[in-house]
């Protein structure tokens, strides 16, 4: 009899091979936006054309489209018949690839991601795409909601949020825990610079998102730490007018308490939620199966 551990190892190997094959068959596409080249990986399902519809996938935080969770989602969604477009947020870098290097000064702002999602939706419109589903993971989920709530497009028919970020991911308590320094004095300094028209002034030796002891402009710092409603997914969800599915990792140690914050918003029609028991923040291996099954059921119910 094969042990559970052995089955997981075999499963992981199979997924890795599937991901490699999918990446080899996918196409890279680019567009120009505000002087930068944005890039994405387009993977069409068998027998489908781009015009039939696509799922636009946004990665989390300072990550990228080639993270395991993104490539695994593209592979398994393709098997279900869904075409996907996994984008790389530029984070202010031309044709960015891979993780954001923390030694590079942060000049990107939280709302920039929403603008870039919008640029890709506009690109899809030019390709005569009939319908778009937005899917975002972690901070990319919160940025997806920000776009959909403020810059909604009739092409967007549904929204899927995978462990989307909440207010507590960038509050004072989390900043202290992660960087061992208080948020208040740094934020106050940054806000003062922004208010005086000096938002591009660089702050040295600060923490920002996943980067400790990095540098960032005052504009960048304020955008992620000003405690704006735009940083909290549950605050933004009521503004959505599209069917929305929120997927929660039962053992998520990054976005903690998401299920409790979303539960009051669930109505079974416009807003649905599913907790993937046992899954952490990245929904690895067998938990990816559960995520894809939940997405498939959600979209099939909408007539996809």
Q: Is residue 182 part of a domain?
A: no
Give the CA angle between residues 90, 137, 124 to the nearest 5°: 60
Strands 156-162 and 132-137, sheet pairing: parallel
Q: Is residue 222 part of a domain?
A: no
Strands 244-249 and 156-162, sheet pairing: parallel
155: left (phi over 0), alpha (psi -120 to 50) or beta: alpha
Residue 203: predicted pLDDT: 98
Residue 68: predicted pLDDT: 95
196: which residues sit within 8 A by CB, 6+ positions away? none
Q: Is residue 224 part of a domain?
A: no
Q: Is residue 181 part of a domain?
A: no
Closest CA to 228 of 103, 121, 114: 114
Alpha carbon distances (Å) from 290 to 243, 257, 284, 296? 19, 20, 10, 10
CA 193, distance to chain mean position in Å, is 29
| Contact predicate 167/232, CB 8 Å | yes
What CATH number has the domain bearing residue 59?
A: 3.40.50.1820
Distance in angstroms (rounded) separating the CA atoms of residues 60 and 47: 30
145: which residues sit within 8 A by CB, 6+ positions away? 136, 159, 161, 164, 233, 236, 237, 240
Residue 55: predicted pLDDT: 98
Question: Which phi and psi (to 5°) does residue 33 adopt?
Answer: -145, 115
Residue 302: predicted pLDDT: 94
Closest CA to 170 of 186, 185, 183: 183
Q: Is residue 178 part of a domain?
A: no
Residue 25: predicted pLDDT: 62
Residue 104: predicted pLDDT: 97
Cite the beta strand spans of 23-140 per DSSP E.
27-33, 36-43, 54-58, 84-88, 132-137
Expressed as residue numbers, the domain containing 32 is 4-163+244-301
Residue 6: predicted pLDDT: 40
Q: Is residue 198 part of a domain?
A: no
Q: What is the pLDDT along the chain (304 residues), one digit of tens a residue?
A: 434 344 344 444 444 444 444 444 679 999 999 999 999 999 999 999 999 999 999 999 999 999 999 999 999 999 999 999 999 999 999 999 999 999 999 999 999 999 999 999 999 999 999 999 999 999 999 999 999 998 877 899 999 999 999 999 999 999 999 999 999 999 999 999 999 999 999 999 999 999 999 999 999 999 999 988 889 999 999 999 999 999 999 999 999 999 999 999 999 889 999 999 999 999 998 999 999 999 999 999 999 9
| Contact predicate 210/118, CB 8 Å | no
The structural domain count of the chain equals 1
Question: Which phi and psi (to 5°) does residue 31 adopt?
Answer: -150, 160
Distance in angstroms (rounded) separating the CA atoms of residues 128 and 173: 46
């Amino acid at each position: 009899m094969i042990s559970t551990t052995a089955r997981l190892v075999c499963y992981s190997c199979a997924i890795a091979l599937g991901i490699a094959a999918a990446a080899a068959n996918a196409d890279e596409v680019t567009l120009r936006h505000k002087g930068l080249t944005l890039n994405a990986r387009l993977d069409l399902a068998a027998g489908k054309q781009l015009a039939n519809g696509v799922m636009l996938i946004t990665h989390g935080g300072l990550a990228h489209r080639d993270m395991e969770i993104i490539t695994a989602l593209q592979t398994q969604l393709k098997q279900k018949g869904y075409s996907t477009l996994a984008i790389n947020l530029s984070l202010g870098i031309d044709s960015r690839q891979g993780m954001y290097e923390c030694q590079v000064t942060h000049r990107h702002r939280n709302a920039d991601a929403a603008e870039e999602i919008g640029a890709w939706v506009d690109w899809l419109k030019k390709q005569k795409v009939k319908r778009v589903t937005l899917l975002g993971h972690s901070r990319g989920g919160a940025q997806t909601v920000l776009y959909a709530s403020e810059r909604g497009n009739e092409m967007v028919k549904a929204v899927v949020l995978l462990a989307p970020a909440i207010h507590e991911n960038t509050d004072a308590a989390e900043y202290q825990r992660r960087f061992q320094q208080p948020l208040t004095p740094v934020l106050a300094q940054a806000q003062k610079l922004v208010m005086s028209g000096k938002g591009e002034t660089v702050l040295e030796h600060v923490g920002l998102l996943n980067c400790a002891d990095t540098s960032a402009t005052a504009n960048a710092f304020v955008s992620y730490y000003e405690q704006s409603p735009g940083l909290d997914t549950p605050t933004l969800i009521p503004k959505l007018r599209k069917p929305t599915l929120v997927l929660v990792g039962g053992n998520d140690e990054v976005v903690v308490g998401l299920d409790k914050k979303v539960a009051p918003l669930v109505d079974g029609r416009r807003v649905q939620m599913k907790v993937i028991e046992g899954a952490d923040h990245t929904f690895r291996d067998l938990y990816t199966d559960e995520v894809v099954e939940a997405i498939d059921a959600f979209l099939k119910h909408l007539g996809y």
